[in-house]
Chains A and B, each alone.
Chain A
Amino acid sequence: MDTVILLLCTGLGLGALYFLVASGLSLIFGLMDVLNFAHGALLSVGAYAAWWATAQAGMDFYAAVAFGTAVGTLAAVLLELALIRPLYSRPRDQILATVGVGLAVPALLMGVWGADARPFPQPSGLSGTVRVLGAVVPVNRFVLMAAALLVLLALRLFLARTRYGLIVRAGVEDRAMVTALGIDVRRAFTLVFAIGGAAAALGGALAGLYFGSVAPGQGTGLLIFAFVVVVMGGMGSVTGAAVASAGVGLVQQFANYYTAAGLGDLSVVVLLAVLLLVRPGGLTGRLA
């Protein structure tokens, strides 16, 4: 029983990490039709910025996470303004450009800080374990779950209660019609990129907590599963991404434990294939 509890918590913690990456990715694709292969790089930027802030600059953990998130947000805005926006009418070039950034950023990180993983300082309050129904569970799993829940809540409030949220929900359905109502949808694009970058960078900072270290390729590795989550959840659906993230994290953990290490990744792909056969529009089949 305690093994099941541990796997549940670890799976949901990993799912929370996937959600932090996938939520922005889903909104960006839903609104802008941009397959952002550089999204993993934003996670890496957030992770390394947080690591640098706490390990090199001596900030405390919470300030370092805030710093990492801010740097990732800034990087996302710059990416949208400098690279994505000029290529809106050239989607193939846009994909190539984001793939290029997705490869260049880890290479840059590797060039500056080396290829080896760097230990991420664990704050004393979050490095211990707690006992849940007999299972000993690392506290950082709950930190990730709490962060993902807060981001989910904030995104839902943003989408439901703000004018820009309304623009995003409408833009996911029909971007051209939004502009035909006199709305400059490019501002919403930049905002969505900023939000997506912030969530991914937060995920990067907290990934350091989850994995105990940061590594140049961490973002790219997580991006693959984030794409699976986006497809499973339904393009542009934040709630769908949340449900799919939890499902993917749990399936991966349980399959890895009860079958063989590595089969967890395969079972996620099988799950995706089955879901798409049964529900081609993803879990929600609806937008945002």
Chain B
Amino acid sequence: MGAPHDPLLTVRGLRVVIDGLHILHGVDLDVAPSGVTALLGRNGAGKTTTVKAVLGLVPRTGGIRLAGEDLTRLPTHLVVRRGIGYVPEDRGVFGGLTVAENLRLAERDAEPAYPLVHEIFPELKRRERQVAGTLSGGQQQMVAIARTLLNANRLIIADEPTKGLAPRIVTEVADALERVASRVPVLLVEQNLALVRRTAATCAVLADGHTVHQGATAELLADEEAARRLLGVGSSRRPSPGPSPGAAPAPPTGTEVNR
């Protein structure tokens, strides 16, 4: 176990080759031991592959350490059992199972934290018998996030949790993420810069399969030239900062990366 301010997750020289194609060329990443760390980059930069490589969902080489423990050679299920909750880009909800079954499948701890799940997502309690395939996109995202809350995870990885959601639902998901991040560190892959600005203190930026920037999110987003160069923000309009936690939320309609 590292010192209190040491990164919770460290990734060094992460490489991924799939079908002879070099996807990641050496990604370095530090995830802070508290709050939200954002993983940014244009489409195709390698963000989702990085997340999948950390989890062992794609073959990888390099160094991956969670609180000092080497995860590089562990299969996915053992990586997850070390205390990582995963919200995949496509939500990964099992459409043929009910909400309750989706949650039951994710149980690892002897006493899963259902009270916490129902406190943050009371709607899931009401819909526990509903088949997940009939839920709206926002409701499915709630199920995906709720699964990570059932167990005492040390890190939650959320891959574009607001992708494809209506603005009102984006706000709900952002609120939920903030509540989650107040309990467990979060690695957030996100294209919605307003949400990133609102939640993430630190960030890393990928381009063409390697890390091109790491540092404070506010500094990066304040530097318009750097943001344009690294993230492909197409206008000089600065993204809306979004509401502060506790304030009546307006939809974080911030500029999306690479638009």
Given A166, A167, A180, A286, which contacts B80 in the complex, CB threshold below 8 Å? A180
Does A177 lie at the interface of the complex (its beta carbon under 8 Å from any beta carbon of B)?
yes
Q: Contact at B96–A181, with CB atoms within 8 Å? A: no
- Complex alpha-carbon distance, A185 and B75, angstroms: 11
- Complex alpha-carbon distance, A172 and B96, angstroms: 10
Does B105 lie at the interface of the complex (its beta carbon under 8 Å from any beta carbon of A)?
yes
What per-residue 1/0 map shows which CB atoms of A91-110 lie under 8 Å from chain B?
00000000000000000000
Within 8 A of A (CB), among B37-73: 55, 57
Q: Contact at B55–A169, with CB atoms within 8 Å? A: no
Does B108 lie at the interface of the complex (its beta carbon under 8 Å from any beta carbon of A)?
yes
Min CB distance, A168 to chain B, in Å? 11
Does B152 lie at the interface of the complex (its beta carbon under 8 Å from any beta carbon of A)?
no
Does A173 lie at the interface of the complex (its beta carbon under 8 Å from any beta carbon of B)?
yes
- Chain B residues with Cβ below 8 Å from A148 are none
Does B97 lie at the interface of the complex (its beta carbon under 8 Å from any beta carbon of A)?
yes
Does A8 lie at the interface of the complex (its beta carbon under 8 Å from any beta carbon of B)?
no
Does A270 lie at the interface of the complex (its beta carbon under 8 Å from any beta carbon of B)?
no
- Chain A residues with Cβ below 8 Å from B77 are 179, 181-185
Q: Contact at A288–B92, with CB atoms within 8 Å? A: no
- Complex alpha-carbon distance, A246 and B112, angstroms: 43
Does A2 lie at the interface of the complex (its beta carbon under 8 Å from any beta carbon of B)?
no
Q: Contact at B94–A169, with CB atoms within 8 Å? A: yes
Q: Contact at B96–A180, with CB atoms within 8 Å? A: no
- Chain B residues with Cβ below 8 Å from A154 are none
Asked whether A177 and B104 contact (CB < 8 A) given A182-B80, A182-B81, the answer is no
Q: Contact at B108–A182, with CB atoms within 8 Å? A: yes
- Chain B residues with Cβ below 8 Å from A286 are 96
Q: Contact at B96–A173, with CB atoms within 8 Å? A: yes
- Complex alpha-carbon distance, A287 and B133, angstroms: 12
- Chain A residues with Cβ below 8 Å from B81 are 182
- Complex alpha-carbon distance, A185 and B147, angstroms: 18
What per-residue 1/0 map shows which CB atoms of A144-168 lie under 8 Å from chain B?
0000000000000000000100110
- Chain B residues with Cβ below 8 Å from A172 are 96
- Most chain B C-beta atoms within 10 Å of own C-beta, residue among A167, A182, A286, A287: A182
- Chain B residues with Cβ below 8 Å from A287 are 96
Q: Contact at B101–A166, with CB atoms within 8 Å? A: yes
- Chain A residues with Cβ below 8 Å from B108 are 181-182
Asked whether A179 and B94 contact (CB < 8 A) given A166-B101, A166-B104, A170-B105, the answer is no
What per-residue 1/0 map shows which CB atoms of B90-111 lie under 8 Å from chain A?
0010111100010011101000
Q: Which residue of B lies closest to A187 (CB)?
A: B77
Residues of A within 8 A of B (CB): 163, 166-167, 169-170, 172-174, 176-185, 286-288
Instruction: Rank and list the top 5 A-B pairs by shortest CB-CB distance, nearest first.
Output: A182-B80, A177-B92, A179-B76, A182-B81, A170-B94
Q: List 28 A-B contacts (CB under 8 A).
A: A166-B104, A166-B105, A169-B94, A169-B96, A169-B97, A170-B97, A172-B96, A173-B94, A174-B94, A176-B76, A177-B88, A177-B92, A178-B105, A179-B76, A179-B77, A180-B57, A180-B76, A180-B80, A180-B92, A181-B77, A181-B86, A181-B105, A181-B108, A182-B80, A182-B106, A182-B108, A183-B77, A288-B96
- 7 more contacts with CB within 8 A, not counting A167-B105, A182-B80, are A170-B94, A173-B95, A176-B57, A176-B76, A179-B80, A180-B57, A181-B108
